[in-house]
Amino acid sequence: MALWIQISSGSGQPIYVQVAEQISEAIAKSELASGDKLPAVRKLASELVINPNTVARAYTRLEQAGLVTTKTGSGTYVSDPKLRKSDAADINILTERMDTLITRGLNLGLREQGK
């Protein structure tokens, strides 16, 4: 599955954030369904040629956002949407994205349309 993850190493965004965001996007688009298993940390690290600790950190971030759950000794799975809790980090990501969207909307002159 790792093939669609794209690392850009000159970016301002830390690599663990890039990995976490791309996986969370895949979950949002239902490309990854609840119960799907994420690749093992070492496997993904090897495929993307990034440090295994970076992958582990991305998974932790997804776990904190409630998007995945880790079962000890078994692996990391996409969690059931009903059981997901939205926390501050999650909302922060959303706010950042929305800010970009709103800016673009305003630049396109969308504000006029409400009137």
Binding residues (CB under 8 A) for other proteins: these are 7, 9-16, 42, 45-46, 49-54, 57
- The CB-of-103 to other proteins minimum distance in angstroms stands at 13
Q: Residue 7 or residue 110: which is nearer to other proteins going by CB?
A: 7
Q: Could you tell me the CA-to-CA distances from 71 to 29, 79, 99, 113 in Å, in that order?
A: 24, 11, 35, 49
Nearest to residue 27, comparing CAs of 17, 12, 14, 37? 37
Nearer to other proteins, 53 or 95 (CB): 53
In angstroms, the Cα distances linking 42 to 2, 30, 56, 72, 75 are 12, 24, 9, 15, 11
Report DSSP state, residue 72. T
Of the two residues 9 and 113, which places its CB atom closer to other proteins in the complex? Answer: 9
Instruction: Indicate the residue among 16 and 78 with the shorter CB distance to other proteins.
Output: 16
CB of 36 to other proteins, least distance (A): 24
Largest Cα–Cα distance in the chain? 57
CB of 97 vs other proteins, minimal distance in Å: 14
Least CB distance from residue 21 to other proteins, whole Å? 13
